[in-house]
Amino acid sequence: MPYSRVYEFLSRRWWLAFILMGVCFVLFGLVSLDLLRSLGANLEFLGMYGFDALREGGLMQLAGLIFSGYLAALFYIVFKLCEKVLVERLSLAKSKGIDS
């Protein structure tokens, strides 16, 4: 199965994959911090006050929270891609060392 161009790019530059993995780990944590609590509070606000909550910007806040959730998911996916690149690189390096 052929890998994507992004995977191939990161495989050739393992140090960049390592840095990107660390950055995405931190960004995932920052974006997802308190996300569920805020989303629950927003949904409770919208359910309790209905149309008044919509006029006060509750729907825009909900959209922002959903966007933050997708952004956190994106950072997690990039983190996992970098992790896969690095684990496979280490695994191949180990197996080459044993065979030699």
The answer to the question of residue 50 being in a domain is: yes
Range of the domain at 69: 34-88
Q: How many CB atoms lie within 10 A of CB 88?
A: 14
Helices (H), 33-57: 35-49, 51-55
Tokens representing residue 36 in the block: 């569920």
Please tell me the total count of domains within the chain: 1
pLDDT digits (tens, 9 = 90+) for 15-70: 999 999 999 999 999 999 999 999 999 999 999 999 898 899 999 999 999 999 99
Q: What is the pLDDT of residues 5-22, one digit of tens each?
A: 999 999 999 999 999 999
Q: Is 99 a domain residue? A: no
Find out whether 58 and 45 touch, Cβ atoms under 8 Å: yes
The sign of the CA dihedral 63, 64, 69, 70 is positive
Query: How far is residue 65's CA from residue 52's CA, in Å, rounded to a whole number?
Result: 19
